[in-house]
Amino acid sequence: MKTGKVKKTPKVNKEEMEVTIEWSAQKTVINKHFLGYRPMNPCPLYEKTNKTLFLFFIRVKHTCTEQWQIDHNHNKARLCYVKTTDNGQSWSDVTDLTDSLDEIKHWATFAVGPGHGLQTESGRLIVPVHAYVSISGKSPAPHAVSLYSDDEGETWHFGTMLENESLECQMAEFADDRGESVIYCNARTKGSYREEDISHNKGEVFSKLSGSRHIVETKDGCQGSVVSFPDQDGGALQCHLDLEMSQNQNKWLLFTHPSDKSERLDLGVYVNKSPQDPSAWSAPWVINCGPSGYSDLAYIDEGWFACLMECGEENYTEQIAIEIFSYNEVNQAIKG
């Protein structure tokens, strides 16, 4: 598997921060068409205790399409990962988890990510998944679900699927008013608005957030990305002074997704300072005008973010670009 064309940003000079970005040469991590299977949907996940980076993906048999699997209710995808413990210098052989997870046998098809997974403050690893399942004899429909591990990636288990139809998803962690962990899930839908659910048991069972929804889904749907980050009203400073407070500090959510209702255009950045309220999302700050597709966010530190995105002049699949920006920029744009 190789990365796509990347728009390099060698240096970003801003009043608050100077960032130098250096890209290594491309390296093949997963061979295409290995044993007749093609790799798809990369989903990286970092385990910080052992400094291990997992790269989850699916392998799909030959040229079998997702639609064929749905129509025939017959899965041809396999769940796999490779991992590295030396920052990508070397990678393990492929581990195939398919036969160890009974749920997959009952699915029409499924996929991980695309985009990052999550390690919670307690250490649980979570990979975002969506699967097509047939319920009560009806045609297979998609539902988001978590794949999790509590032993640093040795064994894996699926949680309970979201009740509502939902596709590609990402998850983030924040603390509620009592300081307890909440896992937030934001998922693509086939409707007019995004699906937003939360879990109070580390991502095993989710319930839909109540209240009016403000994040509009692009026509035909599109993947989006979400991360949590320390609130910028003093929480980030407290965390810097006392790292043991990080689990209970207040966190906000940042979300990226095409902001146009009809087409994959104008990638927007949204902020939610009250993560359990779906009506609390800000208006979008557009960081890429024009064709914009899938994206993936990372919180760097001290109020700074990186966003990897599909974009182009005529079509959103022309290139993959990276944008680095600060919360201050987002806040000023939203207020303006």
In the chain, the amino acid numbered 115 is: G
Exposed / middle / buried, residue 200 (Cβ in 10 Å: 0-12, 13-18, 19+): middle
| Pure H helices in 262-307 | none
Which of 301-310's residues contact partners 24+ apart within 8 Å by CB, and which partners?
302/17, 302/236, 302/240, 303/229, 303/232, 303/236, 303/327, 303/328, 304/17, 304/19, 305/227, 305/229, 305/254, 307/225, 307/256, 307/267, 307/269, 309/256, 309/267
Neighbours of 145 (CB within 10 A): 26
Helix ranges (H only) for the chain are 66-72, 235-241, 327-335
80, HSE (Cβ side, Cα atoms, 13 Å):
22
Tell me what pLDDT residue 62 has.
84
CB 37 within 8 A of CB 96: no
What pTM was computed for the model?
Answer: 0.90
Cβ neighbour number for residue 114 with a 10 Å cutoff = 21
**Phi, psi (rounded to 5 degrees) for 269:** -110, 125
Task: Name residue, tokens 């290139």.
Answer: 319
Query: Residue 251 in contact with residue 227, Cβ under 8 Å?
Result: no
Residue 132's pLDDT is 98
d(CA 324, CA 299): 10
Rounded to whole angstroms, how far apart are CA atoms 17 and 31? Answer: 39
What is the number of alpha carbons within 13 Å of residue 185 lying toward its C-beta?
38
Q: How do the pLDDT tens digits run along the chain, 336 residues long?
A: 433 444 444 344 445 556 667 778 888 888 877 778 999 999 999 999 999 999 999 999 888 999 999 999 999 999 999 999 999 999 999 999 999 999 999 999 999 999 999 999 999 999 999 999 998 889 999 999 999 999 999 999 999 999 999 999 999 999 998 889 999 999 999 999 999 999 999 999 999 999 888 899 999 999 999 999 999 886 444 444 444 444 446 799 999 999 999 999 999 999 999 999 999 999 999 999 999 999 999 999 999 999 999 999 999 999 999 999 999 999 999 986
Strand, helix or coil for residue 73: coil
Cβ partners under 8 Å of residue 192, min gap 6:
216, 217
Q: For residue 249, what pLDDT is reported?
A: 66
Closest CA to 169 of 190, 194, 144, 193: 144
336/330 Cα distance (integer angstroms)? 10
pLDDT at residue 243, as a whole number: 44
